[in-house]
Amino acid sequence: MEEHQDQNSANTSTNNPNPANTSTNNPKPVDEIIPSNGPIKIEDQALEAKSDRIKIPLSCKVDVLSSKLQILKKQHMDLSEDAKSITLYFPGIEIFSAFRDLEVRYDLIKKKYMEESIERKRLYNQVIELKGNIRVFCRCRPLNSEEKSSGSPLIVDFDPSQDSELHIVSSDSSRKQFRFDHVFGPHDTQEAVFTQTKPIVISVLDGYNVCIFAYGQTGTGKTFTMEGTPEDRGVNYRTLEELFHISRERKATMKYDLSVSMLEVYNERIRDLLVENGDASKKLEIKQGEGAQQIPGLVEKGVNDTEEVWEILKAGGEARAVGSTNANEFSSRSHCLVRVSVRSENLVGGEVTKSYLWLVDLAGSERLGKTDVQGERLKESQCINKSLSALGDVISALASKSSHVPYRNSKLTHLLQSSLGGDSKTLMFVQISPTAADMGETLCSLNFATRVRGIETGPARKQSDPIEFFKYKQMAEKLRHDEKETRKMQESLESLQLKFRAREQLCRNLQDKVRELESQLTDERKTRLLQENRASSMAATKSSMEKPPLFPVKRPPLSKLITNIPPPQSKPLIPPKTQAVQKENISPITNIPGMRARRVSISTASSSVIRPLTNKRRRVSFAEAIPSMTQFKMHQEDGKSYLRTSMEKSRLSLSRNRRRISRIFPPSAMKAAAMTPDRKFSNKFSSSPSSRIQVPWEPNLLTVSSPRVHRLLSPVNLRNLKNSHALNKFCSSLNKKVVTTTALSSPSTTQHKMGIGGITGKFGSAQRVLCNNVRRRASIQPITR
């Protein structure tokens, strides 16, 4: 009521003295533009007051806002034109204040409208969802004249207070109750049926897929409910009428394009019922399109009013396959489907959707035995039953929330795939007969409908226009790709950060190490400095004192150890070329009377020939190995006696010694020693470079300090050292007589191990070492001249 008043006020406002055809080329006189009774007035205040004062439902509020928006838009355009005209007559005049006010109000109402519109849709959809996206209405037809005359008993009982319940009363008076979303009795009109249907139908304009189908036994009124009669039109016509009505109401803010297709599924073939020239044999196939199933080649007729719709439905109905059965004289032998495609565009927000409304009049579901059909009719019935069975399977799968729904088992279910269950809204009419004769079929239909009602589907989803959908899809894909790239980059960044952190840690560790080493170095330096200072102070102290003895303090001087040393000879018997050696090792074998030998050095022969030392070193180490007595032989050369040994057994020991010596004495020291290499020995036992270094352990000259020592070392004596007692005796006497050894390096650092005996000999304790060696290993063959 108020809506109409609003519309009237809108019309009134459009009749204001500012005609829309005002042209800037042909400006109107000013008194025509500006009304004599005052400034331009926006005549929607009454409307606004009304809408604010009266508590009206949300949907009405949205409609009121829509109307206001329409009025304001019109006024805005008119004023704009007027303003231009006035400006032509009075340049510079200020006439835009009202115009600006209007603009502000227009924007405000537009914003309000958008908010209300969104809220309306949301609430409306919520209501439908609460009622269920799959809804089942039951409709019972009245008794036909034949049934009335035959007096067939009624089996359906309705409770007027309960419009969603019915009872089936069997012959034994037992009652079976069925509950549906709504139950229509024989006296309910087509209008009453559509009033309940309307809320679901309207959803198609909000962008949801909708499917309405009538199911039931032949002759129960499926076609009557869906198509109706010219006098009493059914759901199809009324639905389209309602869609046109709403689209007109919303035209200020929404633009709807409606088109209608009509087809039938006959013997599992799709037939276009709107095809021109009656070429209905054209084969149509179902293709999976964007969001919904498409039928390429299907005629789709745009409709703008109900008259056009009626003409189309009539033409399509006439082309439908009908036949006579025992149950119905004009029985539908096919499933008839009307598809209404709705493309909607929100003129304010720009949102575009494309949705489908399917209006399906199914073929009769009666059993074959009852209809008693043969031939072509039998085949039709089999196909009908097959597709209805497929529909039942789909419904069961949806009810049991199965992961696979067998939509493709029949053309019917395949066509309805996008509008059955899932994200669509479905309404089923279960049509029943009231007579006892159809009780079996009635119970079957009611049981099937109960199963359908038990389906719980998820919330319905809005369908967007395929083109828009494609655009959004592309955008979404790009977004996904970008996200992927970003993720990749983030991952690589993270890995780089990790690497960087690891490097940093390594760097820190190295820095710590460097600092530690630096501190160690500093400590070392300090210690060394301290030591150097101490050494220099000690040296200074020593230099101020008397020169210390060569040997340890406790040890008696050499001269005291070696007694009976003959006085030195005026002329040594050794040849001049060995003078250097002689200087160091006074020949024990010359045995010149009166000559005083200062040292005795007993050495193993690592070669077959004992040779005098040729370097300038003053000290030569004592023997590191004393070979067995049997290995020694005397050798005469140049009138001198040399101790010769085969070295068969001592080579290995000597080899070990050499290695130890190599460790003790660096190669440079070895070279510096410039001792004659024992080639034979080296070749045989040396493999590593270090072991090839010249061993300073060259055969040392045996020097005997006195004739007494000589005697001790005589072959006879040594040969007699058969037992340990004799050996000990020999050693003790030797200990008194012999002074040995020096080392190649400085006394302060020299410390080496004896190879054969494994005895550690220190510089200055050579005698003891020698004696131990002798005691342990063997006896020495005496050296004779």
Contacts with ligand ATP, residue ranges (CB under 6 A): 141-142, 216, 218-224, 328, 331-332, 363-364, 431
Query: For ligand ATP, which is the closer residue by CB, 208 or 215?
Result: 215
Tokens 């969802």: give the residue. Answer: 129
Query: For ligand ATP, which is the closer residue by CB, 184 or 358?
Result: 184
Nearest approach in angstroms of CB 234 to ligand ATP is 9
Query: For ligand ATP, which is the closer residue by CB, 431 or 740?
Result: 431
Contact in structure between 300 and 260 (CB atoms under 8 Å)? yes
Contacts of 342 (CB under 8 A, 6+ apart): 204, 205, 243, 256, 257, 258, 353, 354, 355, 356, 357
Query: For residue 290, what is the enclosing H or E element?
Result: none
Query: For ligand ATP, which is the closer residue by CB, 220 or 686?
Result: 220
Residue 221 annotated in ligand binding? yes
Contact in structure between 177 and 444 (CB atoms under 8 Å)? no
Calpha distance 714→200 (Å, rounded): 137
Nearest approach in angstroms of CB 142 to ligand ATP is 5
Q: How many CB atoms lie within 10 A of CB 343?
A: 18
Calpha distance 79→98 (Å, rounded): 9
Contacts of 76 (CB under 8 A, 6+ apart): 102, 103, 106
Nearest approach in angstroms of CB 425 to ligand ATP is 23
Residue 220 annotated in ligand binding? yes
Query: For ligand ATP, which is the closer residue by CB, 18 or 225?
Result: 225
Calpha distance 333→375 (Å, rounded): 14
Query: For ligand ATP, which is the closer residue by CB, 223 or 355?
Result: 223
Contacts of 554 (CB under 8 A, 6+ apart): none
Contact in structure between 718 and 643 (CB atoms under 8 Å)? no
Which amino acid is it at 724? S
Nearest approach in angstroms of CB 400 to ligand ATP is 28
Query: For ligand ATP, which is the closer residue by CB, 330 or 472?
Result: 330
Nearest approach in angstroms of CB 417 to ligand ATP is 23
| Helix, strand, coil shares, percent, the chain, to 5 | 50, 15, 35
Closest residue to ligand ATP, Cβ-based?
Answer: 221
> What are the structure tokens assigned to 624, written together?
């590191």
Calpha distance 739→142 (Å, rounded): 149
Nearest approach in angstroms of CB 140 to ligand ATP is 8
Contacts of 635 (CB under 8 A, 6+ apart): 609, 610, 641, 642, 643, 644
Contact in structure between 310 and 269 (CB atoms under 8 Å)? no
Residue 306 annotated in ligand binding? no
Query: For ligand ATP, which is the closer residue by CB, 443 or 609?
Result: 443
Nearest approach in angstroms of CB 220 to ligand ATP is 5
Which amino acid is it at 16? N
Residue 219 annotated in ligand binding? yes
Query: For ligand ATP, which is the closer residue by CB, 332 or 781?
Result: 332
Total residue count of the chain as it appears in this document:
785
| Distance (Å) of CA 103 to CA 79, 114, 629 | 10, 17, 133
Contact in structure between 368 and 385 (CB atoms under 8 Å)? yes
Nearest approach in angstroms of CB 219 to ligand ATP is 5
Tokens 């510096």: give the residue. Answer: 672
Q: How many CB atoms lie within 10 A of CB 159?
A: 12
Calpha distance 603→699 (Å, rounded): 6
Nearest approach in angstroms of CB 374 to ligand ATP is 17
Query: For ligand ATP, which is the closer residue by CB, 79 or 388?
Result: 388
Nearest approach in angstroms of CB 238 to ligand ATP is 14
Residue 222 annotated in ligand binding? yes
Query: For ligand ATP, which is the closer residue by CB, 15 or 150?
Result: 150
Residue 367 φ then ψ, to 5°: -80, 155
Nearest approach in angstroms of CB 98 to ligand ATP is 59
Nearest approach in angstroms of CB 145 to ligand ATP is 10
Angle, CA 738 vertex, CA 733 and CA 741 arms, to 5°: 140
| Distance (Å) of CA 661 to CA 610, 670, 689, 695, 768 | 20, 9, 14, 8, 20
Nearest approach in angstroms of CB 149 to ligand ATP is 15
Contact in structure between 431 and 221 (CB atoms under 8 Å)? yes
Contact in structure between 762 and 692 (CB atoms under 8 Å)? no
- Ordered DSSP codes for 639-668: TEEEEEE--TTHHHHHHHHHHHHHHHS-HH
Residue 417 annotated in ligand binding? no
Query: For ligand ATP, which is the closer residue by CB, 238 or 343?
Result: 238
**Cβ neighbourhood burial of 501 (10 Å; 0-12, 13-18, 19+):** exposed
Nearest approach in angstroms of CB 386 to ligand ATP is 16
Sheet holding 156-159, edge to edge: 156-159, 162-169, 175-179
Query: For ligand ATP, which is the closer residue by CB, 75 or 218?
Result: 218
Contact in structure between 377 and 334 (CB atoms under 8 Å)? no
Query: For ligand ATP, which is the closer residue by CB, 216 or 316?
Result: 216
DSSP 8-state assignment for residue 435: B
Task: Point out the annotated binding site.
Answer: 216-223
Task: Point out the annotated binding site for ATP.
Answer: 216-223
